[in-house]
Amino acid sequence: MRIALHSEIRDGAIDDYRTHHARIPDALAATFARVGIHDWTIWRSGQRLFHLVECDDWDAAVAALDEDPANAEWQKDIGRFVELFRGPDGAEGFAPIEEVWDLRAQVG
């Protein structure tokens, strides 16, 4: 499955956020593989970050990440730079945002 997330970076934190994402910790990458996250890409527009995640099952992956020490360490570190996540209606939350259209689905 493919899901998208929307987060916002704290003022003045984009350079540190980029530096920390130049290479995530190997333990976190291994955790992602173990919980079925195959790819995670992040784009930026101003203070807004858009994440595209390819995974087996998002809800199961998030539940497994909640219990993982490598993820806990990463969240403690990277959380300094992230203001918040927004859900599909724009309110604060960590739910995938709504997919409106998919070319592959239309032509495939």
* pLDDT, mean of residues 49-59: 98
From residue 38, give the alpha-carbon distance in Å to each of 30, 84, 106: 10, 24, 24
Give the global pTM.
0.93
pLDDT in the model for residue 56: 98
pLDDT band at residue 83 using 50, 70 and 90 as cut-offs: very high
CB 10 within 8 A of CB 84: no
2-38 residue pLDDT tens: 999 999 999 999 999 999 999 999 999 999 999 999 9
* pLDDT, mean of residues 42-70: 98
Of 51, 49, 46, the residue nearest 12 (C-alpha)? 46
Percent of the chain topping pLDDT 90 = 99
CB 87 within 8 A of CB 95: yes
Cβ neighbors of 58 (< 8 A, separation 6 or more) are 1, 3, 96
Structure tokens at 53: 């995640």
pLDDT band at residue 79 using 50, 70 and 90 as cut-offs: very high
| CA neighbours closer than 13 Å in the CB half-sphere of residue 101 | 3
* Cα 59 from Cα 82, distance rounded (Å): 21
pLDDT in the model for residue 98: 96
pLDDT in the model for residue 59: 97
